[in-house]
Every structure is written in C-alpha cells, then in structure tokens.
Amino acid sequence: MSILQRSLVLFAGLFLLFAGVGFVLGTANISLLLVQSFAYALIALGLNIQWGYGGLFNFGIMGMMMLGGAAVTFISYPVNPEFWGSDGPLMLGKALLALLAGFALIWAVRRSDRIGIRGGWKTALTVLAWIVAYFVYRSQIDPAAAYIESIGSGWVGGLGLHPVLGWLFGGVLAAGVAYLVGRICLGLRTDYLAIATIGISEIIRALLKNMDWLTRGTLTVTPISWPVPLPQDFQATGTSIADSFVIARLGFLAIVILFVVVAFYLVQRAYGGPWGRMMRAIRDNYIAAGSMGKNVTRRQLEIFILGSVLMGIGGAMLVSFQQIYDPGSYQPINHTFLIWVMVIVGGAGNNWGAVFGALLIYLTWMISDPVSQFLFNGLSHWTSQAGWGEIPDIQSRASQMRVFVLGVVITIALRYAPRGLIPEMVKRNG
C-alpha cells in the first residue's frame, strides 16, 4: 500500500472516530474537541517544522504556548482605566528606560576593546556591566510592579483590540523569544538544546506565573474575547442554548481551520522548494551541508523561529477559545510532550502526518479520561464487592492514567513504527 493510500485510509478512519465520539458525547462536545484539536494541529505543524524538517529539539513548546496566551490576553482584554490613570505607566516607562540603559551599557562595554581594554579586563567589565544593568532594572521594575499590584484590579489590563491581532502578536512574541533562544543555543549539540529549551520554557512559566502586574499570575484573567460571536450572543437572539454552543464553536472552528490551512499550504510549499531541500540536507548531514557553504546555523534559526510562531499562535487560539488565561494550568506533559507524541505518532517530517497525529492524539487524550474513569469505576465496584473496599480518589487517579498511557504510546511508537503512521515521503538517511 502506498503512503498516499494509507493516508487516505487513516484519515477516513479518523473521520469515523470523530463521528463516533461525536455521536456518543453530543455535538456540543465534539465541536469543542474539534476546535481544540485543530489548534493543536497548528502547534504540531510548528514542531514538525522544527523537528521533522530541521531535526531541532524543542522541549519548550509550553513556553511558546504560554507566550501566545499572554499576548492574546494583553491585546484583546478590555482597557484598564485605573491603571492608565495612575502612575503605573510612568513607572513602567522608567523601568523600560532602565532596561534600555542597561543594554546600552552592556553594548558599550562589549565594544570597549576599541579604547584598548582587552582580555581579562574586558571580560570582568562585561560581567560587571551585566550585574549593574540587572540591578538598575530591578531598582525600577520592583517598585513599579508593587505599585501596579496595589491599585484597582492589580494589573495593567489589556488594549481592547481584536483577538486575531492578539493571536498574531502571540506569534510575534514567540518569534522574538525563539530568536534569542536560537542565537544562544543553536550552535550547541542536540542534547544541550533539549535542556536549554526546557529551561527557557520553565523560566517563561515562572515569569508569567509570578509577574502579577502583567498577567495577574495565578489569579487568572477572564473573560477573553472571541473573534466570532459567543454562544451568549446567539442565545440573546433566541437560539436555544444547546444550538448556540454548536453554532458559535463552529464559527470559531472555521477561523482556526483557516489558519491551519494557510499555514499548511505555506509550509508544504516551502518544503517542496529549494528551502526545504536545503533543510533536509542540513538535517541529514549537518557537516556536509556546512562544508558545502550553507549557513547552517542561520537556516536552523529560521526554522526554529518559524515553528515557534505557529506554536505561539496556536497557544493564543486555545486561550482565546477557553476564554481564560491561567498561567498556573500549564504543564510540560499537556503542552510539550503531548505535542511530541502527536508528531512522532503521526510521522515526523510529513505535515499530513503531523496534522493526523494531532487530531488523533488529542481526541484520544481527551476521551481517555472518561474512559479510564469508567474503567476505574468498574474496578472499584468489583473490589468493593470482593470486600477490599472502593478505590479512593478515582477522579484524580483516572486522569493520571492517561499520562501513563501517553508514555506507553511513545515507547510503542518508537519501537514498532519509528517513522510514524504517515511517514516522510523522502528517504531519510541514517
């Protein structure tokens, strides 16, 4: 069976699976799952660019998704007049100036060899400059943060703009961070990149969780607006509650799918072209590609940024859809490793595979919770009949069960289908 036939069969099966689950859980639930799984498909495409095309490790997907969420919150949440009427903006402005001054100082020290400072002295001065810059910034931002947190709702609020702008800003923000990470880490070996990206994403999480003045941290922000009418809007015009959810979610789904289709088309085209061939050359033979005069690190930086943009947008969409931004709810399992499983199971290096994997794994992930709860309830019934008493905390245990299943899926996939269900069409060396 050719890969094409196999893909058709698999996608048909997936369609039936979604239809079946929809039949059981109801249209409202399946429309929710569809929106989320397509947002994950966009993120999986991002990882597929990085890992499948470029062979780059990114274990920091969670960080990119959180940035996207913060971006859409900031752009689309209504303006907070209390903040804008206070001294807050001025203090933040000072902090920004302090930050810029710090960077100017570091930049100046880095060029100090022009006035004859070299070697160890220059290193010492650079370190000193970093320390001074850090403390100057801290001296401005700490009181600003404390002040903002003390007035009104305790944070800066949003800009009140359209959510789609927020999604795009999420992409831009993720691109900026990816650029910095890439500049620092892409020259390093793969294992180091993996650790570095985990570190970055944990730091982003720590920052967004604790910078209450910017994100309200664990207090969460809600409601975040939709780019399309909300179910409540439909209810106001007399649509029944059940129908209103389905219609509104289908509207949201249309926009998400539009993004996925556009991204898919662009990525697919790029992959077939000279840029994609070069990426494969770099991935499969790093040294040879480098010696042929390709600027390997620069190409990898491009790919790292591009993938991160999709992750940022996807993360923003999910926050927008759920209408709540809760930095405390992000976990590496749900937001980094889940996406790895999608790409590995689907087929790294094949965009159809990545999308297929995203839809399949997300659906499995979501329905495995009720399924394992059902199983646990059955088991509990059996143990209590056997006189051993009921199983305690079924709910939380059942939701841990799916973490275990995710691990099993990864290891089985690596062992028995290492190239994924819809593998890359081009032969991969090694």
| Site residues for other proteins per CB under 8 A | 55, 57, 184-185, 187-192, 194-196, 198-200, 202-203, 206-207, 209-210, 332-333, 337, 340, 344, 393, 396-397, 400-411, 414-415, 418, 430
Under a CB-based contact definition with an 8 Å cutoff, are residues 365 and 408 in contact?
no
Nearest approach, Cβ of residue 362 and other proteins (Å): 16
CB closer to other proteins out of 257 and 401: 401
No. of H helices and E strands in the chain? 18, 0
Nearest approach, Cβ of residue 378 and other proteins (Å): 16
Nearest approach, Cβ of residue 192 and other proteins (Å): 6
The CA distances from residue 159 to 76, 166, 213, 224, 238, in Å, are 6, 10, 15, 12, 31
Q: Which amino acid, one-letter code, is at 237?
A: T
CB closer to other proteins out of 49 and 200: 200
The dihedral sign for the CA sequence 288, 292, 293, 295? negative
Nearest approach, Cβ of residue 421 and other proteins (Å): 16
CB closer to other proteins out of 208 and 281: 208
Nearest approach, Cβ of residue 171 and other proteins (Å): 24
Q: What region does 109 belong to: left with phi over 0, alpha with psi -120 to 50, or beta?
A: alpha
Q: What region does 387 belong to: left with phi over 0, alpha with psi -120 to 50, or beta?
A: left
CB closer to other proteins out of 245 and 376: 376
Give the chain's end-to-end CA distance (angstroms, integer): 24
Q: Measured between alpha carbons, how far is 133 from 158 in angstroms, rounded to an integer?
A: 28
158 closest CA partner among 209, 218, 221, 220: 221
CB atoms within 10 A of CB 404: 11
CB closer to other proteins out of 145 and 224: 145
- Indicate the length of the chain as a whole number: 430
CB closer to other proteins out of 237 and 396: 396
Instruction: List the structure tokens of 91.
Output: 């203090």
Nearest approach, Cβ of residue 189 and other proteins (Å): 6
Nearest approach, Cβ of residue 142 and other proteins (Å): 9
CB closer to other proteins out of 119 and 430: 430
Instruction: List the structure tokens of 112.
Output: 């100090």
